[in-house]
Amino acid sequence: MTPENAMGAHIHVVRFAPAKLNLTLAVVGRRKDGYHSLYSVMVPLALGDALTVSTPPSGTAADSLRITGLPLPPEPDNLVLRAIAAARAEVEAGVAGTPAPPLAVRLAKRIPVAAGLGGGSSDAAAAIEAALAAWGAVLAPSRKAALAAALGSDVPFFLAGGAALVTGRGEFVEPLPDVVGEQPAVLLVTPRLPLATADVFKAYAGASAEPDAARASEISERLAADMKAGLTAATLLERLLGLASANSLRPAAESLVPGLGKFAVELESVVDRPVCQSGSGPTLWSLYANLAEARKAVRFVRLAVANGTLPLLGEGEPFVAATTIAGRPMPPPVLLPGRATGTIRPRTVHNESGANGQGHNEPAPEPVESKGDRTR
């Protein structure tokens, strides 16, 4: 396990960390460990972060993390660094006496903060894979799955890759086929007010009347079954109205953010179609047949913000982007024997410019999600 060869060249590994979309999210019970049991159909998006792992100069004693865009808080508890440390512990436990050297990490953030899109969990999964590649190490699937689940509830989904039915608190991931045909495009609208997952679950648990869990579960089960049977993209778009009522956490999110419900109603009027919520929110989304239609919707939303038709929530204009559901990725290339440097390229990111017009999908910081995943 030597990421630096005899000539002093260094390994350089890049991983793409996609955002996720909850097409459905049914809360189906409370577990003894304090988590809620979920039944969710999730898909990765072509919008995402890019994580680069390299071997630092000789003599470096610890892992380092440099973030571009709006930086994350410089905490030693950062989820990316925690993921690498946990992967190192697994590797060193399996290969006695062989240390896994420190790594230098660069993270380009493009996924909005605490938005229900799983940015921190995706970064953690990408960090695990990149670190193992840099060290030339392999973990048994069961050990890697346990490592991912310990880091956060969404991490196992990102480690598996592709559309999936996610159950338990997130640790059980059953791959689903991609929808048949061109992958649908997605409009994302995220108000500028980060919403902690733990707070949303707390509001859900404390609500006087819980949402209709049976309806969300029914829609989720039907969607999963139909994807296994070969659901077409056109049929998925036809079910958008049902998907808008298939997130058990939506009422809780709206109870925590005054005006979020009204914002969603106004957004539906602007785009003239149902609007759904991803995860614990506050990101709202809708589906389109292709990226051109979704980009047109982005323009409509920005115009509505500019003329006051769409009310502002939080600090400033919302994050607005057009992207697509991402098909199941091909396995990344491996480093060839005898090559000192290897680069694994991320998949293309279809990001729209941010609301402030600063080029390719305005980057934003992402909080550590491992704490936010726990429900209390």
Which residue bears the tokens 């436990």? 93
Residue that has been written with the tokens 């940015």 in this structure:
119
- Higher-confidence position of 146 and 352: 146
Q: Report how far residue 144's alpha carbon sits from residue 87's, in angstroms, rounded to the nearest whole number.
A: 8
Taking residues 303-327, report their average pLDDT: 94
- Whether residue 373 lies in the annotated active site: no
pLDDT band at 344 (very low <50, low <70, confident <90, very high): very low
Mean pLDDT of the chain: 84
**pTM (predicted TM-score):** 0.84
pLDDT, position 75: 59
Identify the architecture of domain 12-324 in CATH: 2-Layer Sandwich (3.30)
What pLDDT, on a 0 to 100 scale, did the predictor assign at position 212? 67
Amino acid 331: pLDDT: 56
The one catalytic residue in 20, 63, 109, 144 is 20
Please indicate whether residue 154 is annotated as part of the active site: yes
Res 369 pLDDT > 50: no
What confidence tens digit (pLDDT) does each residue in 250-295 have?
Answer: 999 999 998 999 999 999 999 999 999 999 999 999 999 999 999 9
Distance CA 226, CA 216 (A): 15
Q: What is the pLDDT of residue 274?
A: 98
Which two tokens mark 239?
A: 């079910």
- What is the pLDDT, as a whole number, of residue 314? 87
Q: Alpha-carbon distance 154 to 120, whole Å? A: 9
pLDDT of residue 213: 74
Cα gap 288→228, rounded to integer Å: 22
Whether the Cβ atoms of residue 116 and residue 280 lie closer than 8 Å to each other: yes
Three-state DSSP state, 100: coil
The helix, strand and coil proportions of the chain, stated in percent and rounded to the nearest 5, come to: 35, 20, 45
pLDDT digits (tens, 9 = 90+) for 176-226: 999 999 999 999 999 999 899 999 999 998 876 666 678 999 999 999 999
What pLDDT, on the 0 to 100 scale, is given for residue 178?
A: 96
Residue with tokens 């980057």: 363
Residue 97 has pLDDT above 80, yes or no: no
Q: Which residues contact 232 (CB under 8 A, 6 or more apart)?
A: 179, 180, 181
For 324, the 3-state DSSP assignment is: strand
Buried residues in 159-184 as b, exposed as e (16+ CB within 10 A): bbbbbbbbbbbbbbbeebebbeeebb
At 25 the pLDDT is 97
Checking if the pLDDT of 230 tops 60, the result is: yes
Rounded CA separation 129/123 (Å)? 10
Of residues 27 and 113, more confidently modeled? 27
Q: What is the pLDDT of residue 134?
A: 93
Cα separation, 132 vs 203, in Å, equals 38
Among 43-57, 173-187, 340-354, which is the least confidently predicted range? 340-354
Q: Is 128 left (phi over 0), alpha (psi -120 to 50) or beta?
A: alpha
Rounded CA-CA distance 157/162 in Å is 8
Q: Which tens digits make up the pLDDT trace of 114-142? A: 899 999 999 999 999 999 999 999 999 99
Neighbouring CB atoms inside 10 A of 255's CB total: 15
According to the model, what pLDDT value does residue 115 have? Answer: 93
Contact partners, residue 237, CB within 8 Å, separation at least 6: 184, 287, 288, 289
pLDDT at 96: 57
**Active site residue: 49, 63, 123, 154, which one?**
154
By percentage, how much of the chain surpasses pLDDT 70?
A: 80
How far apart, in Å, are the Cα atoms of 337 and each of 14, 138, 206, 340, 342?
18, 16, 56, 8, 10
Query: 239 or 258: which carries more pLDDT confidence?
Result: 239
Is the pLDDT score of 364 beyond 50? no
Distance (Å, whole) CA 169 – CA 154: 9
- Farthest-apart Cα atoms in the chain, separation: 66
CB 286 within 8 A of CB 297: yes
Cβ(216)–Cβ(250) under 8 Å? no
Boundaries of every domain in the chain: 12-324
